[in-house]
Structure 1
Amino acid sequence: MESRPTAAGDGGFAFTFHGSYTRAVDAKGRFALPFRLRRAGAEQVEEKYMVSRGADGTLSLQPYDVWVENFNRLRSEPPSQKLRDYLRRMSANSTEVTVDAQGRVAIAPEKLAEYGIDRKITVLGVGSYMELWSPEALAARAGDEADDAAFDDAFFR
């Protein structure tokens, strides 16, 4: 239910986001980023994130440095048409956002509407990033008992 600093391979710090939080979204597309998922600290001047198209019909909210690392990892691949398409897709579908003094993130209401997000948003911590869901879409995505059993077998071995 929180983000915790964990040792990264390069000696720096990475964050592990986990937990699920549902928040209200106002008419300007603002919602309170759960405190347990925030990366604010004394050493940080500004909390920056990138909002981009995520997997499985979600919006992704990544710490800015994680997004840049992923972008640079892609850029290091050998040049190709496919790579240029990926870089365009990543750039065109990403927007930098910051956390305001009240702990809110603002995403254009039109962008939220594309993902079925209106008055409520569920912020789901998924390791190095967060997924932004409409609560209804997330509930519809919930697995059945067979999926639960397969998950239990994979996770609790």
Structure 2
Amino acid sequence: MFLGSYEPKLDDKGRLILPAKFREELASGVVVTRGQEHCLYVFSAREFESLHEKIRQAPVSSKQARDYQRVFLSGASAETPDKQHRVTIPANLRSYASLERDLTVIGVGSRLEIWNSATWDNYLNEQESAFANTEEEVIPGLF
């Protein structure tokens, strides 16, 4: 399970050093793709295979499903960490998420998210107030 927040730097070649806590689980490969709110999602190869099985089950007759599949999968890139535990973030994905040198990587259970640090700070500041003031159930049976 991926948890926590980390602030690695993107190097000049568009590579990110994976946080030490996650290296073992991601050693056999990752899939990086567009996320929502203009961040990137990073899945272990195993988790992405499971997710892809679910995506494949969406009805081809659903325009919303087709649209989602196209955006989500067309940007996906399978990457293997190198010996220094670095993963290359393709240029099109760096552009999509406005990634610069300063990054924030957050663990979100089954995936990591990579954010431009300034974008993450703004998002978190906006959401913390809503989080603190939530009065209705957001996650069924939990909160």
After TM superposition, the score normalised by the length of structure 1 is: 0.75
Structure (1 or 2) with the larger CA radius of gyration: 1
Give the percent of matched residue pairs that are identical in Structure 1 and Structure 2: 29
Match of 1:122 among 100, 104, 123: 104
1:13-92 aligned within 5 A: 16-40=1-25, 46-82=27-63, 83-92=65-74
* Alignment-derived partner of residue 3 in structure 1: none
Moved over 6 A (4+): 153-157
Match of 1:149 among 125, 132, 136: 132
| Displacement after TM superposition at 1:110 (Å) | 4.3
User: Which is bigger in relative contact order (C-alpha 8 A, separation at least 6)?
Assistant: 2
Higher fraction of helix: 2
1:95-114 correspondence runs (5 A): 95-114=77-96
* TM-superposed deviation, 1:67: 1.3
Q: Which has the higher strand share?
A: 1
Q: Once the 2 structures are TM-superposed, how far is the Cα of residue 87 of structure 1 from its aligned partner?
A: 2.8
Distance 1:146 1:21 in 2: 22
Residue of structure 2 in register with 1:12 after alignment = none
Q: How much is the aligned-residue C-alpha RMSD, in angstroms?
A: 2.7
